């Protein structure tokens, strides 16, 4: 039976279908992995410049279909059309950034001096499995594909069943410019992921998604002693220090940092901490900003900035978090013309002021358009509250004094701390991104993201044993 993708803004509309691997899963996986393994021998042996040229042609092809891909993405996951154009454009930009920086990142490094001759080589792993989520499927697939393929690996992508269509098309565009089986896409569910991760010819796994799936992937990979890159969930605090300005531009950035993609973003601002004596001022500024920039409706309608949630289950969970939070619920934003709440999985965004400290809204990742505002009395108190979470993906600090913000940010338990912004407006291609604590390990973006897909291999001739060397005792330690 095919995987059928409905439009979450109009759930009676079927956007498309893909054929999953559900029968003879081990055999189908074995065929795909063996083909990728064979392709790896040729692709990794292709000169780097030629690999990058092929990826450059693929980047041009993706850019040429940006508008069509954006419409498909908006229809299958409910993200506003301008955001979809932005995501696909950013994916192309990232691929081109990798192409530009790969020669330096993957270059051999050689020292030949009085200590000897040392050659350091960056070598690809082989077959890489990339398991991707639905909420930003194009860029989160490209973060894995670009670096892995540039390094000489081959890649099998397993997209989320909730967002398979645009990723499938992305892979097809790449395939047109790469050798057979260098990049493949397989659709399916948990059994397919298990079969891929446990195949003896798979050498590395990259995953972005939820903690439960990440734990299962990590356990299966650990059993085979293969490395992983895991970018898991976040419960990101946004801390407003006592001197933080509540100006219009800052508040608008914060609103969209929480409610882009209806809050279904791992690095969204999910816990807002504000000085108690300024909480009323903050709420007024935040509500006013939301009225200006937060427009709920069908993602294909011009001017809409927040669409539906991905499913009825996601909507129900987010709604329950608001109801059970024991705080004052403030409705946010406005509705687009023709808004029909019953047509899709819409939920009106809200701010919950001063919820119970042990409420699920604070303790759990919401992944929906419901955000708590927590007043605090001192910087030590807010630091303790911000760090009192098992997750540690992102965080932000807001202050009129940049040095003060950086000093506070150093004390946060987060893999990425933004200053005076949050979420994608604070990202940079040169800044490595990833989590600490239970938010995962490994990094994407920047040189660290490129390095994730290569292994450091060394050739060494100590000076003592080169021609004319003095030699060493067979029991000597290196000096």
Where in the sequence numbering do the catalytic residues fall? 231, 266
pLDDT in tens, the chain (479 residues): 899 999 999 999 999 999 999 999 999 999 999 999 999 999 999 999 999 999 999 999 999 999 999 999 999 999 999 999 999 999 999 999 999 999 999 999 999 999 999 999 999 999 999 999 999 999 999 999 999 999 999 999 999 999 999 999 999 999 999 999 999 999 999 999 999 999 999 999 999 999 999 999 999 999 999 999 999 999 999 999 999 999 999 999 999 999 999 999 999 999 999 999 999 999 999 999 999 999 999 999 999 999 999 999 999 999 999 899 889 999 999 999 999 999 999 999 999 999 999 999 999 999 999 999 999 999 999 999 999 999 999 999 999 999 999 999 999 999 999 999 999 999 999 999 999 999 999 999 999 999 999 999 999 999 999 999 999 999 999 88
As a whole number of angstroms, the distance between CA 100 and CA 104 comes to 9
Name the nearest CA neighbour of 236 among 261, 267, 273, 274. 267
Beta strand 10-18 with 3-7: parallel, antiparallel or unpaired?
A: antiparallel
Q: Cα separation of 69 and 66, whole Å?
A: 5
379 Cβ contact partners less than 8 Å away, ≥ 6 residues apart: 241, 242, 408
Closest CA to 73 of 184, 164, 156, 158: 164
Q: pLDDT tens digit string along 272-307?
A: 999 999 999 999 999 999 999 999 999 999 999 999
Cβ(189)–Cβ(47) below 8 Å: no
> pLDDT of 309-337, one tens digit each?
999 999 999 999 989 988 999 999 999 99
Taking the C-alpha atoms of residue 23 and residue 409, their distance in angstroms, rounded to an integer, is 50
């Amino acid at each position: 039976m095919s995987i059928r993708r409905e439009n979450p803004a109009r759930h009676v509309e079927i956007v498309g279908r893909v054929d999953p691997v559900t029968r003879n899963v081990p055999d189908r996986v074995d065929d795909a992995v063996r083909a990728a393994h064979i392709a790896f021998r040729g692709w990794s042996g292709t000169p780097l410049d030629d690999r990058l040229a092929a990826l450059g042609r693929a980047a041009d092809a993706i850019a040429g279909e940006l508008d069509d891909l954006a419409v498909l993405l908006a229809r299958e996951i409910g993200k506003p059309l301008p955001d979809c154009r932005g995501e696909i454009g950013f994916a192309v930009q990232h691929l081109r950034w990798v192409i530009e920086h790969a020669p330096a990142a993957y270059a051999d490094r050689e020292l030949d001096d009085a200590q000897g001759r040392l050659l350091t080589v960056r070598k690809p792993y082989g077959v890489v499995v990339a398991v991707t989520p639905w909420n930003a499927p194009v860029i989160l697939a490209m973060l894995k594909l670009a670096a892995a393929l540039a390094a000489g690996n081959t890649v099998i992508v397993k997209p989320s069943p909730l967002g398979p269509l645009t990723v499938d098309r992305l892979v097809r565009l790449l395939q047109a410019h790469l050798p057979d089986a260098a990049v493949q896409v397989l659709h399916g569910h948990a059994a397919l992921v298990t079969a891929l991760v446990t195949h003896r010819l798979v050498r590395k796994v990259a995953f972005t998604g939820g903690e439960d799936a990440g734990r299962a992937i990590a356990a299966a990979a650990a059993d085979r002693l293969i490395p992983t890159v895991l970018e898991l969930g976040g419960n990101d605090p946004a801390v407003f220090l006592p001197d933080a300005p509540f100006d219009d531009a800052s508040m608008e950035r914060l609103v969209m940092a929480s409610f882009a993609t209806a809050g279904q973003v791992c690095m969204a601002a999910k816990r807002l901490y504000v000085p108690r004596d300024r909480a009323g001022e903050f709420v007024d500024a935040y509500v006013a900003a939301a009225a200006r920039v937060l427009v709920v409706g069908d993602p294909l309608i011009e001017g809409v900035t927040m669409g539906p949630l991905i499913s009825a289950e996601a909507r129900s969970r987010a709604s329950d978090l608001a109801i059970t939070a024991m705080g004052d619920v403030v409705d946010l934003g406005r509705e687009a013309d023709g808004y029909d709440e019953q047509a899709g999985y819409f939920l009106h965004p809200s701010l919950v002021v001063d919820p119970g400290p042990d409420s699920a809204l604070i303790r759990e990742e919401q992944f929906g358009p419901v955000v708590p505002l927590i007043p605090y009395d001192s910087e030590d108190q807010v630091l303790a509250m911000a760090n009192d979470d098992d997750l540690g993906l992102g965080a932000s600090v807001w202050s009129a004094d940049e040095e003060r913000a950086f000093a506070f940010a150093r004390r946060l338990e987060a893999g990425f701390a933004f200053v005076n912004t949050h979420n994608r407006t604070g990202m940079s291609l040169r800044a490595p991104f990833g989590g600490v604590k239970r938010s995962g390990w490994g990094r994407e973006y920047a040189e660290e993201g490129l390095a994730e897909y290569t292994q450091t291999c060394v050739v060494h001739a100590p000076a003592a044993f080169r021609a004319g060397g003095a030699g060493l005792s067979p029991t000597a330690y290196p000096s």
